Structure 1
């Protein structure tokens, strides 16, 4: 797999958000991925959404291990786009999702 750095964004910086969307659109068009996996943050959510819309890619959201008390905002927003919606803490799993399959590290 190739590595593509993209601009990190927050919901407060709309200009950077637009730049990140454009970067991810270029990457997804070039790579046409079968599967996109994200371990969190807004750029990962954008990647899942763009890949799902442009390529009908399968998508997997793994919420960051850093949030042990609840899901991130990006994680909650990923639910409708993620084919697999996962957490890395067993106590955060719920019937109907998110699911716990283990932790990445």
Structure 2
């Protein structure tokens, strides 16, 4: 019975570990990654996002680690007041997602 209980507990832990694929990075960790050259500067990442929507302004941004990859999420508002949500690869500035928020 103990083996069955241990096996069940291990299976539950393994399954729940697979569900947690993204984690938010705090400001200290983000700055450490930038200073180490692991990710691009936030100014460069913001400029890449704004280049996609000229005249837009950054309303919110966040750095996450997803599946071992650093993702910079940025919310923009363009001159026509449309809101855009973008995701960039924080290591090279490549736009991964770009869609207008409803």
With normalisation by structure 2, the TM-score equals 0.26
Greater relative CO, 1 or 2 (CA 8 Å, sep 6+)? 2
TM-score (norm 1): 0.26
Larger-Rg structure: 2
